[in-house]
Amino acid sequence: MKRWALPALLLAALLSLWQIAASTGALENALNLQSFLVPSPAEVAESLWDNRSLLAENAWVTLREMFFGILAAIIVGVGFAVLMHRWRVMRDAAYPLIVASQTIPIVVISPILVTWFGYGITPKVVIIALVCFFPLTINALDGLRAVEPEAVKMMRSLDASRWQLFRRVEAPTALPHVFTGAKIAVVIAPIGAVFAEWAGSSAGLGHLIQSDTANFEVARQFATVAVLSGMALALMGLTVLAERRVVGWR
Partner 1 sequence: MKPQIAEPDQISSAREQSGGELSLRGVSHSYGELVSLDRIDLEVSAGRVVGLVGPSGCGKSTLLELICGLREPSGGAISVAGSSDARERLARCAYMPQRDLLLPWYSAIDNAALALRNQGMRREAARTAARDLFERFGLGGFETSRPAELSGGMRQRVAFLRTLIAGKPVLALDEPFAALDAITRAEMQEWLATALRTDPRTVVLVTHDVEEALYLCDRVAVLSSRPGRIVAELGAAARRAEDRDAAVTDPAFVAAREEALRALREGSR
Can residue 150 be called a binding residue for partner 1 (CB under 8 A)?
A: yes
Report the Cα–Cα distance between both ends of the chain, in Å, rounded: 25
Cα angle 146-89-183, degrees, rounded to a multiple of 5: 40
Question: Rule CB under 8 A: is residue 158 a binding residue for partner 1?
Answer: yes
> Rule CB under 8 A: is residue 156 a binding residue for partner 1?
yes
Q: Would you tell me how many other CB atoms lie within 10 Å of the CB of residue 90?
A: 14
Q: Please give the Cα distance from 138 to 78 (Å, whole number).
A: 9
Nearest residue (CB) to partner 1, 155 versus 235: 155
Least distance from partner 1 to the Cβ atom of residue 92, Å: 22
Q: Which is nearer to partner 1, 3 or 245 (CB)?
A: 245
Binds partner 1 (CB under 8 A): choice among 7, 100, 215, 249: 249
State which residue, 73 or 147, has the beta carbon closest to partner 1: 147
Say how many residues make up the chain. Answer: 250
Q: Is 159 one of the binding residues for partner 1 (CB under 8 A)? A: yes
Residues 163-192 that bind partner 1 (CB under 8 A): 164, 168-169, 172
The residue within the footprint of partner 1, chosen from 154, 234, 241, 242 (CB under 8 A), is 154
Q: 38-77: which residues touch partner 1 (CB under 8 A)?
A: none
DSSP letter for each residue of 175-225: HHHHHHHHHHHHHHHHHHHHHHHHHS-SSSHHHHHHHHHHTT-HHHHHHHH
Distance CA 85, CA 13 (A): 48
- Asked if 140 touches partner 1 (CB under 8 A), the answer is no
Q: Cβ distance 202 to 119 under 8 Å?
A: yes
Nearest of 159, 151, 158, 162 to residue 82 by alpha carbon: 162
Is 157 near partner 1 (CB under 8 A)? Answer: yes
Q: Binding of partner 1 at residue 155 (CB under 8 A)?
A: yes
Which residues of this chain interact with partner 1, rule CB under 8 A? 148, 150-151, 153-161, 164, 168-169, 172, 249-250
